[in-house]
Structure 1
């Protein structure tokens, strides 16, 4: 009889532990931001945003954290370009990747990049949470896109991103 009670108690504890771990991980978060490419470098030229045109993107995504250290992210970034008195959405970026928590509010995102303008590549992103609230947090990030394809030379861009995660 004692063995049956012990088995039932053990099963209840094991069940409760699995419930608590499921409410913690996987953990799903969403975010929205604004990204400004600062400078783009290629073998032919260096172009600066804000000089002859203005480009801005709006990264929107979902992060699925498998544990406190590793996760998966899917991001979509529509980009608007304003030039010569007109503006248009000129690109849509599909941006899946892995997330690695580096500690102290820092995260590394290694993303693949697939753009509707025919370009593709990778984007390492270094992210820092600067304000953390109970239901949201604000972050700053430095994306470093490397792009190829569409009969253009390879490019490397440095950007600045701000946003809110919830």
Structure 2
């Protein structure tokens, strides 16, 4: 009789603690991602250039994130850009984007990136990223990049963009 009571009691008192334990994340942790980038509007002293009007520009960023721990990481992003206008399209630029990642909590991440473009321009790209759907093996994200560019005999520019994608 004692064994019939003891076994269920043991399962009830110890079973709950095993079910509530979260898996331990090992670091460094590597994630890769791909997305679509839409520069929405660019500002400079020569004027305002809006996308989706007489031309369309789209970037296809791919990258790798290496998280040192749960709050700090390194990222390398590669962005080919295609420009379509006057019924033609061409690869207009390629950007190499190395940078630091800072997890802000609640699915938000800040990426502070340097930028080096084949167009001869360079600069910084701060990005605010938000995980919107988190699955077991992948997640969907949305991001707002704010590229600031200098060089190549052009005025300094600031662009507001929108990016979304999937990370693995």
Report the TM range for the smaller structure's normalisation. Answer: 0.7 to 0.9
Report what 1:129 is aligned to: 131
Report what 2:81 is aligned to: 79
Paired with 1:125 and 1:63, the residues of 2 have a C-alpha distance of: 14
Paired with 2:132 and 2:52, the residues of 1 have a C-alpha distance of: 26
Please list every run of at least 4 consecutive aligned residues from structure 1 whose deviation after the TM superposition is greater than 6 angstroms: none
Paired with 2:26 and 2:138, the residues of 1 have a C-alpha distance of: 16
After superposition, the C-alpha distances for 1:106-154 in whole angstroms (9 at most, x for unaligned) are 0000000000000000000000000000000000000000000000000
Paired with 1:106 and 1:24, the residues of 2 have a C-alpha distance of: 20
After superposition, the C-alpha distances for 1:37-82 in whole angstroms (9 at most, x for unaligned) are 0000001100000011000000100000000000000000000000
Query: How many residues are aligned here?
Result: 146
Report what 1:43 is aligned to: 45
Instruction: Give ranges in structure 2 of 5+ residues lacking alignment.
Output: 1-22
Please, what TM-score do these two structures have when normalized by structure 2?
A: 0.85
Q: Is 1:144 the equivalent of 2:146?
A: yes
Paired with 1:90 and 1:50, the residues of 2 have a C-alpha distance of: 16
Please, what TM-score do these two structures have when normalized by structure 1?
A: 0.86
Instruction: Give ranges in structure 1 of 5+ residues lacking alignment.
Output: 1-19
The structure number with the bigger radius of gyration is: 2
Report what 2:12 is aligned to: none
